[in-house]
A and B are shown apart, each in its own frame.
Chain A
Amino acid sequence: MTTPFLQAEKLERRVGDTQILAGIDLSVNKGEVVGLIGPSGSGKSSLLRAIAGLDPLTGGRVLVEGRTPTPGDGTIGMVFQQFNLWPHLTAGENVALALRLVRKMPRAEATERARAMLDRVGLLKLADRRPAQLSGGQQQRVAIARTLAMEPRLILFDEPTASLDPELTTEVLDVIRGLAETGMTMLVVSHEMGFVASVASRAAFLDHGRVLVDGPAKAVFRDAEEPRLRRFLSTYLQRVAWAPDPEPVPAADPGPLATFALLQQPAAPEGSTMSLLGLPPAAPPGGFSLLDSMGDPAAPKSPKADG
């Protein structure tokens, strides 16, 4: 029996009277990609921030390879919803700064490595641009390159595409997908259900600071039995299909599979989420291609940070 790569034990975080994390247990093996899904305020982002050590815990502990990581020790990299690039530096300098200051690399070597990292996310040509001169998708790719340059052993993605339009979302998701294929251990908070279903090996559904469902991603999406998860998924699917009734009635909830069946559209492209979900061939495959590229347009943008 091997110890898991990441072990979060009974994580609790309480701010005033609000229980943000209510005793979360999560263990992740090396090379696993875990998707965290759930409604806004469910604690997904807070869980990532707690694992990264950005927010203090009121209970529980985080172990990575058996020891508690501290911010900046090189164990954990994080990619944020708002990119958090440094506006006064060029893309290349954003990637090179920590290499120089933390890894003590000579300037030329750090610049060279930064260029290699930008090349990896397809942005070598834009190394001399400042963040303000880049699109949101390009900024997020620079942020990913900045994180990768430090060679973290675990990368946390905190809604990396939530502030991007559908086209820009796709270019960022492609980079993350490529990263998953290299065997990088990752935790991904996302409202891109199709992406989570296709990239994550495991998915966890959070609500009110607890993990309600945790299992193989395909199972979580396919045979969602937990009522709260069923409601969450079917709301999402109805919205994606521009269904007229955005308010599901819990009693009459058809469940996500039934909703899948409603989405009859011709011509399923190769590799659509549908096939990745491994659903029975009787189910109509169309419609789910939407999930691969859909943004999250109807998600209510609440001013307070998610979770």
Chain B
Amino acid sequence: MDWAFVEEALPPLLRGAVATVAVSLAGIALGFAAGAAIAAASTAASRGLRGAAALYISFFRGVPLLVQLLLAYYALPFLGIDIPAIVAAVGTLGLCCAAYMAEILRGGLATVPPGAVEAARLLGLTRAQTFLRIRLPIAARTMRPAIVGEAIMIMKASSLISLVGIMELTRTSQALASSTFMPLQSYALCGGIYLVINFVLMAVGWDRKRA
């Protein structure tokens, strides 16, 4: 390894990494919030709400994220909706993530034994208390690995937003590769940084009680 190159390349790559982490975390947060709402809709009594949730989930899981990004970046302005690249990026990551999160949340809550909920009901807990104190914590155990997996997927998928001109980690390494004529080293460093970020995610998401 050429240490002079590393010294030169690392500062811009780390700035790119900060952008990657910021955009991804914003997308994951949006995805979790919107996903919770969609999960609620998908189990609602209203047939219309359930249909809308099903439609949303099949669209965002069925169309490639790259195509979704291009649609947000190019098609929306064409329709007169002009949004900054960063909003298109975070929004698309978040809305796509929401479709997966909704399925994780719905499936996780479905694994909660009905008896645990009945016991809470007979003891007088309100629906909100039962959700927050009983259903959610029990479901969290089963959902945790899937949520961590989804967060990692979004972290990696954020490399696609380099396409709409945001200087995140992948785009920075591409620029570095072409300016230094050292693509191998550039992309190796880039991959290494992604790996470190995702190790941190895995460590944060590790369920110590279960291990």
Contacts and interface: CB of A to CB of B under 8 A. Distances in A.
A101 interface: yes
Residue among A86, A102, A143 facing the most chain B CB atoms (10 A cut-off): A86
A84 B133 CA distance: 15
Contacts of B120: 86, 98
A71 B122 contact: yes
B115 A101 contact: no
B118 A150 contact: no
Contacts of A52: 122
A83 B115 CA distance: 8
Given A84-B115, A86-B134, A88-B141, A102 B122 contact: no
A80 interface: yes
Interface size range on B against A = 10 to 19
B138 A84 contact: no
A86 B132 CA distance: 13
Nearest to B125: A101
A125 to B, nearest CB: 22
A267 B120 CA distance: 46
Interface size range on A against B = 20 to 34
B138 A88 contact: yes
B48 interface: no
Given A88-B137, A101-B129, A76 B123 contact: no
A168 to B, nearest CB: 19
B122 A77 contact: yes
A136 B113 CA distance: 17
Interface of A: 52, 54, 71-74, 76-78, 80, 82-88, 97-98, 101-102, 143, 146-147, 150
A80 B125 contact: no
B79 to A, nearest CB: 47
A98 B138 contact: no
A143 B116 CA distance: 11
Contact of B124 (A54, A88, A98): A98
Interface of B: 113, 115-116, 118-126, 129, 133-134, 137-138, 141
B138 A86 contact: yes
19 contacts: A52-B122, A71-B122, A71-B124, A72-B122, A72-B123, A72-B125, A80-B115, A83-B115, A84-B113, A84-B116, A84-B119, A88-B137, A97-B123, A98-B120, A98-B123, A101-B129, A102-B125, A143-B119, A146-B119
Contacts, number: 63
B134 A150 contact: no
Residue among B118, B122, B126, B134 facing the most chain A CB atoms (10 A cut-off): B122
B115 A72 contact: no
A101 B121 contact: no
B122 to A, nearest CB: 5
B124 A86 contact: no
Q: DSSP class of B's interface residues: helix, strand, loop or mixed?
A: helix
A99 B161 CA distance: 51
Contact of A146 (B121, B123, B133): B123
A84 B118 contact: yes
A83 B133 CA distance: 18
Contact of A102 (B113, B124, B134, B137): B124
A85 B116 CA distance: 6
Contacts of A84: 113, 115-116, 118-119
A113 to B, nearest CB: 14
A97 B138 contact: no
Contact of B125 (A76, A77, A78, A98): A98
Contacts of A150: 123-124
Nearest to A52: B122
Contacts of B119: 78, 80, 84-86, 143, 146
A234 B41 CA distance: 54
Contact of A72 (B116, B124, B133, B141): B124
B138 A101 contact: no
Nearest to B139: A88
A296 to B, nearest CB: 20
B123 A102 contact: yes
Contacts of B118: 54, 80, 84
Contacts of A146: 119, 123
Contacts of B121: 54, 71-72
Contacts of A101: 124-126, 129, 133
Contact of B133 (A71, A76, A97): A97
Nearest to B136: A88
A54 B122 contact: yes
B109 to A, nearest CB: 14
